[in-house]
């Protein structure tokens, strides 16, 4: 017999068999039993969650000779023909390849005619969002008032690309990602029917790899069985799919607790040697930290999608971390995951990121700090005053008793001395400053060397220029000049740049500008290019 893949062989044939979409199945069954059918439906949701499957079940039950409680009998001639793709009144159209206006015009012509042998003509258009704008416009009138013998069923993974005019004419059903436990139960049922022995951890790995898609999980299941045979273990699944072992993530948190940089670098080498995808490793590490955070915040491991053995390990491991530290770890890992996508040297970026995580200081909560301060105060010699660096009470002295009774207490924080540049220092080290600017930005350094240091008043460096180009260039770079002055003089000095007074005057008179230019300077702050 010809081999049939699991996703096709075990495709649901009734609404009851569909996993994870009970809200859709129940609504459609009730509509059929109450004879309240719509003329158009749109099924939206992720890939592999049952959109086309339910569309086919709906097409069968609408034309079934002997429906059973809203489900098709799957035994009559109509059901068998639809299941085999031979029914002339049920059309499955790929919206990606039949997306033009001509195809939709042909469809409009075809819907006028009554079904050949069935009760309804059913048009299932998959990936309907791929239709062109013109095709959607051509479909509008027919979709709004179709013949009574026509039912439209649209399926799409990107419903936001479907025009609102189309959506308003359809009953919309949003399909959900299938829960991991539901996927595991379905795969366990299939394994039993196929006489395949598979352990729970292996099913968990396959279900998580499926990422909410039943079809993806079933395809992975076929791949694993092809590798392992009729007996499948978790280790074989890990080897087949090259999944990062869960133990590796517990090793990472052990390294973080021990603050062992050497082990961190050896861990990265192990990841590279085994051929693990680095971004996939970071995704798994983020989930691992999330699991620990779940335990620390809820006090329970029930929300973690893993085996009972690992749930107990998470409960034990979470006791070594605070929720604040776990949040900081999680943020750093997500940022590292984003950086790794564009990094030219991913291994180097991963190594530096792991080292940063290892050396990240732990966060002390406020209550702990207050408790420590109270202990210091109790143990101080005079039990009167504990100066705190950087606080409003730093340097406060306890006044005598008679003064405390009649005088309000005032707090004064010592103000740090702010270094300012003196004129002598500026003139003495001006060449050094110009050289530092020229080294970083050669063009700006050349312009600066042509200007003149006039004076330094109250820490503000005053410069004079010979022309507008120098003036505008230096004014635009005042913030950068302040950064260089911090490097050279030890403080970020403000700069005042003016035109040389001798250049402003021509033949003893002030050079006048056009009134429009003066207005632009005055009102809008314009400067010549």
Domain presence at residue 208? yes
User: Can you tell me the mean pLDDT for 505-515?
Assistant: 51
Residues 13 and 159 in one domain: yes
As a whole-number percent, the residues of the chain with pLDDT over 70 amount to: 85
User: Can you tell me the mean pLDDT for 20-48?
Assistant: 92
Residues 21 and 140 in one domain: yes
pLDDT in tens, 423-446: 888 888 888 888 888 888 888 888
Q: What is the CATH number of the domain that holds 259?
A: 1.20.272.10
pLDDT band at 46 (very low <50, low <70, confident <90, very high): very high
pLDDT surpasses 80 at 1: no
Torsion region of 229: left, alpha or beta (phi above 0 gives left; psi -120 to 50 gives alpha): left
pTM of the predicted model, to two decimals? Answer: 0.64
User: What is the per-residue pLDDT for 515?
Assistant: 62
pLDDT band at 62 (very low <50, low <70, confident <90, very high): very high
Domain presence at residue 391? no
User: What is the per-residue pLDDT for 2?
Assistant: 79
pLDDT band at 485 (very low <50, low <70, confident <90, very high): confident
Give the number of domains in the chain.
4
CB-CB contact of 434 with 449 (8 Å):
yes
User: What is the per-residue pLDDT for 308?
Assistant: 83
pLDDT surpasses 50 at 145: yes
pLDDT in tens, 76-130: 999 999 988 899 999 999 988 888 888 888 998 899 899 988 899 999 999 999 9
Which of 225, 241, 257 is the last residue before a domain boundary? 241
Q: Show the domain range for 493.
A: 423-524
Which of 174, 200, 227 is the last residue before a domain boundary? 174
pLDDT in tens, 360-392: 877 765 566 667 777 777 776 655 555 544 444
Domain presence at residue 416? no
Which of 154, 174, 194 is the last residue before a domain boundary? 174
Residues 71 and 54 in one domain: yes
More confident site: 231 or 513: 231
User: What is the per-residue pLDDT for 366?
Assistant: 59
pLDDT surpasses 70 at 415: no
Domain presence at residue 10? yes
**Which residues are registered as beta bridge partners of 172?**
42
pLDDT in tens, 266-306: 999 999 998 889 999 999 999 999 999 999 999 888 888 88
Mean pLDDT of the chain: 85
**Could you give the strand order of the β-sheet that contains 495-499, starting from the edge strand earlier in sequence?**
452-457, 460-465, 495-499
Give the tokens for residue 216. Answer: 């993806």
User: Can you tell me the mean pLDDT for 301-320?
Assistant: 87
How crowded is residue 49: how many other Cβ atoms within 10 Å of its Cβ? 25
In DSSP notation, 443-485 reads: HHHHHHHHSEEEEEETTEEEEEESSHHHHHHHHHTHHHHHHHH
Residues 79 and 192 in one domain: no
Residues 163 and 184 in one domain: no
Domain presence at residue 408? no
Residues 154 and 18 in one domain: yes
Residues 164 and 215 in one domain: no
Residues 19 and 147 in one domain: yes
User: What is the per-residue pLDDT for 521?
Assistant: 62
Query: Taking the mean position of all CA atoms in its chain, how far away is CA 247?
Result: 25
User: What is the per-residue pLDDT for 408?
Assistant: 52
Alpha helical stretches, state H, 145-277:
164-167, 180-193, 200-210, 214-228, 234-241, 246-258, 261-273
pLDDT band at 420 (very low <50, low <70, confident <90, very high): confident
User: Can you tell me the mean pLDDT for 494-517?
Assistant: 65
Residues 108 and 162 in one domain: yes
Q: What is the CATH number of the domain that holds 209?
A: 1.10.8.60
Residues 29 and 170 in one domain: yes
Domain presence at residue 402? no
Domain presence at residue 388? no
How crowded is residue 107: how many other Cβ atoms within 10 Å of its Cβ? 20
Residues 480 and 512 in one domain: yes
Torsion region of 212: left, alpha or beta (phi above 0 gives left; psi -120 to 50 gives alpha): left
Domain presence at residue 109? yes
Residues 81 and 227 in one domain: no
CB-CB contact of 154 with 143 (8 Å):
no
């Amino acid at each position: 017999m010809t081999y049939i893949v699991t996703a096709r062989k075990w495709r649901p044939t009734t609404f009851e068999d569909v996993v994870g979409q009970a809200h859709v199945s129940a609504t459609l069954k009730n509509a059929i039993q109450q004879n309240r059918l719509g003329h158009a439906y749109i099924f939206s949701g992720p890939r592999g969650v049952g959109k086309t499957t339910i569309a086919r079940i709906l097409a069968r039950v609408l034309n079934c000779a002997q429906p059973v409680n809203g489900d098709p009998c799957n035994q009559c001639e109509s059901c068998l023909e639809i299941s085999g793709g031979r029914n002339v009144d049920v059309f499955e159209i790929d919206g990606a390849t039949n997306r033009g206006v001509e195809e939709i015009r042909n469809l409009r012509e075809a819907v006028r005619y009554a079904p050949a042998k069935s009760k309804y003509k059913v048009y299932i258009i998959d990936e309907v969002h791929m239709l062109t704008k013109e095709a959607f416009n051509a479909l509008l009138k027919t979709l709004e008032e179709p013949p009574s013998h026509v039912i439209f069923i649209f399926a799409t993974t990107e419903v936001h690309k479907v025009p609102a005019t189309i959506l308003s004419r359809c009953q919309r059903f949003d399909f959900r990602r299938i829960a991991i436990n539901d996927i595991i139960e379905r795969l366990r049922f299939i394994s039993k029917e196929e006489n395949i022995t598979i352990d729970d951890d292996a099913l968990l790995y396959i279900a998580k790899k499926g990422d909410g898609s039943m079809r993806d999980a079933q395809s992975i299941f076929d791949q694993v069985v092809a590798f392992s045979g009729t007996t499948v273990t978790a280790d074989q699944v890990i080897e087949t799919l090259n999944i990062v072992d869960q133990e590796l993530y517990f090793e990472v948190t052990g390294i973080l607790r021990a603050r062992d940089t050497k082990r961190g670098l050896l861990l990265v080498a192990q990841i590279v040697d085994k051929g693990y995808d680095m971004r996939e490793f970071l995704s798994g590490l983020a989930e691992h930290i999330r699991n620990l955070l779940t335990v620390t915040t809820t006090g329970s491991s029930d929300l973690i999608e893993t085996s009972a053995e690992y749930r107990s390990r998470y409960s034990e491991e979470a006791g070594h971390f605070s929720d604040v530290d776990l949040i900081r770890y999680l943020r750093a890992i997500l940022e590292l995951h984003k950086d790794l996508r564009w990094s030219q040297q991913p291994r180097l970026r991963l190594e530096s990121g792991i080292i940063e995580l290892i050396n990240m200081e732990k966060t002390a909560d406020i209550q702990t700090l207050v408790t420590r301060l109270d202990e210091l105060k109790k143990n101080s010699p005079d039990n009167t005053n504990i100066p705190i660096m950087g606080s409003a009470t730093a340097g406060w002295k306890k006044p005598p008793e008679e003064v405390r009774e009649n005088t309000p207490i005032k707090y004064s924080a010592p103000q740090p001395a702010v270094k300012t540049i003196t004129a002598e220092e500026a003139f003495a080290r001006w060449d050094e400053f110009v050289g530092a600017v020229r080294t970083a930005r050669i063009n700006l350094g050349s312009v600066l060397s042509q200007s003149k240091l006039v004076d330094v008043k109250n820490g503000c460096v005053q410069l004079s220029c010979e022309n507008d180009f120098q003036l505008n260039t230096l004014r635009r770079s005042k913030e950068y000049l302040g950064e260089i002055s911090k490097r050279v003089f030890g403080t970020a000095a403000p700069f005042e740049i003016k035109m040389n007074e001798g250049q402003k005057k021509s033949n003893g008179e002030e050079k006048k500008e056009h009134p429009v230019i003066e207005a632009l300077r005055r009102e809008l702050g314009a400067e010549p290019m």
